[in-house]
Amino acid sequence: MLNVARWIPGGAADETAMLRELGLADAEELFSDVPKKVRLGRMGVGAPKEELEVLRYVDKILDRNKPYSKFSNFLGGRVTTPFSPAALDAILSRSEFYTSYTPYQPEASQGMLQTLFEFQSLWVELTGADAANASLYDGATAAGEALLLCRRVHEGSRFLLPASLPWEEKSVLRNYAAGLPVRFEEIPYDPRTGRLDTEWVKTEVARGDVFGLLADLPNGFGVLDEGLPDLKAILGSVPLVIAADPLALSVVEPPAAWGADVVVGEGQGFGMAPSFGGPLLGLFACQKEHLRLAPGRIVGATADATGRRAFTLTLQTREQHIRRSRATSNICTNESLLALGFVVYATLVGPRGLAELQTRLTEKARTLASALGGLEGLQAPRFEAPYLSSFAVGVTRGGVGEFLDRLRAKKVLGGVPLSDPRPGAPASEPLLLASVSESLEERDLQRYVSAARGALAAVRGSP
């Protein structure tokens, strides 16, 4: 047997000696202050096993997993399942990147600092904004930080956000505002097109006390809202935050070009696998007048004492660098490795390649939507508006959950339910968001349509 005894806690004799030293009769007395009703009790892990036995046992458990790659996968929304080029993993796994921590010492971290500077430059190019930071935790917390920036920029207690915004992101925003005098008011959407009601926005801004507005591109229904460029004229000095999909920005006009003060987004879709929900990559850019109010790390380019180009952290606004009372956020790190992956992916694919990829995905999404829309019991796409890689599907026969369960039984992950599943959440229209990815082939689209037809027929035939 492999000798791992030095890692195993002592036996009964050692336990007795420790209890004697503590002046206790037994282990039960040691835990007497913990109420019995909250104790876990014996875990029932069984007798010890050799290492090889444990590995075999764990492998049996892992065999029960069903990875999304084994399905025709139409999950998406903010977290996607992109194709990851082999070169991306090869670069990310280099030790100087994979094991590096934080670039506090510019004299020793020029490579990583330059990478982060290039990352910032890429997000600036996509958004049209003046400056970006060196990444945040994820897209939702980036939106939360944008909310806080709006409060520093403009007075007021009301923040406007789309009713169509994913419920998870609404939850994060409410958590960010907890303890602050902030009221969230949801912008209604046109039931036919899914677009924001800009007349409602005009009325609410005219009432006053609005300190910011967030809109997403595409929105939570996958819709490209053609009314977004009109928002800044309505808002005036009130900051406008746009949560944008990076791939969409390869084919649409940059948000800063039509007045966005802050542009945030989720960068995971640039070649990073969704894993089990993370890690993700928060994108944040703003206009230069707001830069000193931006959160997290910002990398700047300068020159060293000999005149050579050099990189360093600059405008250090986070709480670990300056007095806490003056910090813009308590963000304590950034997603350096994923930021590197974002840059590598964009470089490998190239600007023309990104636009071509988005075009291919849009064509694929239209093919799927057209086929699903021909089935009785589905509305696809649900809204009469442009869309790119994702579109809302209305389920008019049976429930969304039942429909997706029947698809999953046929090895199809049909999409993401758009209703808020938390207890007490208001009822909403039965919708799901279906998304396409580069890895899907024609046979996957056909499998979805076939599985959907069967699922709807099963609902019709049930008593």
Domain CATH for 173: 3.40.640.10
∠191-160-425 over CA atoms, to 5°?
Answer: 65
Into how many domains does the chain fold? Answer: 2
Provide the greatest CA pair distance for the chain: 82
Q: Of the ranges 92-101, 269-278, 351-360, which one carries the lowest mean pLDDT score?
A: 92-101
How far is the C-alpha of 191 from the C-alpha of 383, rounded, in Å?
8
The pLDDT, as a whole number, for residue 324 is: 63
Same domain, 100 and 233: yes
Task: With respect to residue 336, please indicate whether it lies within any of the assigned structural domains.
Answer: yes
Which residues fall within 8 angstroms of residue 423, CB to CB, at 6 or more apart?
none
Indicate if the pLDDT at residue 68 is higher than 90.
Answer: no
Instruction: Using the structure block, give the residue that is written with the tokens 């195993």.
Output: 8
Domain boundary among 324, 344, 364: 344
pLDDT band at 389 (very low <50, low <70, confident <90, very high): very high
Same domain, 217 and 94: yes
Segment of 40-44, 109-113, 365-369 carrying the highest mean pLDDT: 365-369
Q: What is the mean pLDDT of residues 294-298?
A: 88
Task: With respect to residue 213, please indicate whether it lies within any of the assigned structural domains.
Answer: yes
Task: With respect to residue 63, please indicate whether it lies within any of the assigned structural domains.
Answer: no
Same domain, 325 and 361: no
Task: With respect to residue 8, please indicate whether it lies within any of the assigned structural domains.
Answer: no
8 A C-beta contact, residue 186 and residue 166:
no
pLDDT band at 28 (very low <50, low <70, confident <90, very high): confident
Same domain, 331 and 234: yes
Same domain, 376 and 334: no
Indicate if the pLDDT at residue 343 is higher than 50.
Answer: yes
Indicate if the pLDDT at residue 4 is higher than 70.
Answer: no
pLDDT-above-90 percentage for the chain: 73
Indicate if the pLDDT at residue 61 is higher than 60.
Answer: yes
Q: What is the mean pLDDT of residues 350-376?
A: 97
Domain boundary among 321, 344, 367: 344
The pLDDT, as a whole number, for residue 375 is: 96
Task: With respect to residue 48, please indicate whether it lies within any of the assigned structural domains.
Answer: no
Same domain, 133 and 170: yes
The average confidence (pLDDT) of the chain is: 91
Beta strand 240-244 with 262-266 is parallel
Q: What is the mean pLDDT of residues 333-352?
A: 93
Quote the DSSP letter at residue 246.
T
Q: What is the mean pLDDT of residues 225-250?
A: 97
Task: With respect to residue 125, please indicate whether it lies within any of the assigned structural domains.
Answer: yes
Domain at 414, CATH number: 3.90.1150.10
Instruction: Using the structure block, give the residue that is written with the tokens 């931006």.
Output: 294
The pLDDT, as a whole number, for residue 1 is: 45
How far is the C-alpha of 228 from the C-alpha of 242, rounded, in Å?
9
Cα–Cα nearest to 404, from 34, 74, 10: 74
pLDDT band at 37 (very low <50, low <70, confident <90, very high): confident
Q: Give per-residue pLDDT as tens, 145-192.
A: 999 999 999 999 999 999 999 999 999 999 999 989 999 999 999 999
Indicate if the pLDDT at residue 296 is higher than 90.
Answer: no
Segment of 42-56, 164-178, 327-341 carrying the highest mean pLDDT: 164-178
Same domain, 313 and 272: yes
Q: What is the mean pLDDT of residues 287-306?
A: 92
The pLDDT, as a whole number, for residue 462 is: 58
Same domain, 119 and 262: yes
This prediction's pTM: 0.88
pLDDT band at 9 (very low <50, low <70, confident <90, very high): low
Burial class (CB in 10 A: 0-12, 13-18, 19+), 269: buried
The pLDDT, as a whole number, for residue 199 is: 97
Q: Give per-residue pLDDT as tens, 392-434.
A: 999 999 899 999 999 999 999 999 999 999 998 888 899 999 9
Q: What is the mean pLDDT of residues 286-304?
A: 92
Same domain, 158 and 296: yes
Cα–Cα nearest to 116, from 265, 396, 313, 271: 313
Q: Which amino acid is at 327?
A: A
pLDDT band at 6 (very low <50, low <70, confident <90, very high): low
Domain coverage including residue 320: 86-344
Same domain, 360 and 403: yes
pLDDT band at 246 (very low <50, low <70, confident <90, very high): very high
The pLDDT, as a whole number, for residue 450 is: 97
Q: Give per-residue pLDDT as tens, 119-136.
A: 999 999 999 999 999 999
Number of H helices, E strands in the chain: 13, 15
Indicate if the pLDDT at residue 319 is higher than 80.
Answer: no
Domain boundary among 293, 327, 344: 344
Task: With respect to residue 13, please indicate whether it lies within any of the assigned structural domains.
Answer: no
Same domain, 74 and 124: no
Task: With respect to residue 54, please indicate whether it lies within any of the assigned structural domains.
Answer: no
Q: Of the ranges 67-71, 229-233, 322-326, which one carries the lowest mean pLDDT score?
A: 322-326
Q: What is the mean pLDDT of residues 260-283?
A: 92
Q: Of the ranges 111-120, 229-238, 273-282, 340-349, which one carries the lowest mean pLDDT score?
A: 273-282
Same domain, 98 and 74: no
